[in-house]
Amino acid sequence: MIEADDVGGVHIKYLYHCRRQLWLYLRGVRPEHLNGSVQLGEAVHDTSYTRRSPVDLGAAKLDFVDGRHWVHEVKSSARPTPADQAQGRHYCYRLADIGIDAQGAILHYPKTRRTHRHPYTPEAAHKAKADIAEVLTVAAADTSPTRLARSACRGCSYTDYCWTE
């Protein structure tokens, strides 16, 4: 199935948002292209910070890294989430894994014109490693995790799968 080196930012985001979503994604269920929120996120990404080049690390695709080794991620939401911070931490971990001393993640929220800076510390590295282990645990499960409360599913592209009876 999936190995530690294959865990990317989407896996980490889904781990924090909904383990069922992660489990389905790992099994090839991918309705995101039909979801308006996902399309909005792609549009925000495509039109923000267009002079910067994305960084492709295989499983992890970063928006850009500046000259001081800060990872920059552009988010379509109006406010930060734990998933956003976990993604930034994961990207720093991936950079450190290939010998680049990442300083941390700067999360950009163009909708509210805010940025949030999260330094990459030894504790953050430990959390990033634990997140990868947790993704692998979800991946190894034979059955899907339970669904979240319906109120937590607003805007999710997997809603039909989870709530159609």
CATH architecture of 4-154: Alpha-Beta Complex (3.90)
Q: How far apart are CA 30 and CA 62, in angstroms?
A: 21
Domains in the chain: boundaries:
4-154
pLDDT for 53 = 73
Q: What is the C-alpha separation between 92 and 129, in angstroms, rounded?
A: 11
pLDDT value of position 107: 97
Q: What string of pLDDT tens digits covers the 165 residues of the chain?
A: 799 999 999 999 999 999 999 999 999 988 765 545 545 555 554 555 455 677 888 888 899 999 999 999 999 888 899 999 999 999 999 999 999 999 999 999 998 999 999 999 999 999 999 999 999 999 999 999 999 998 888 878 888 888 886
> How far apart are the C-alpha atoms of 70 and 92, rounded to whole Å?
8
What is the per-residue pLDDT for 95?
96
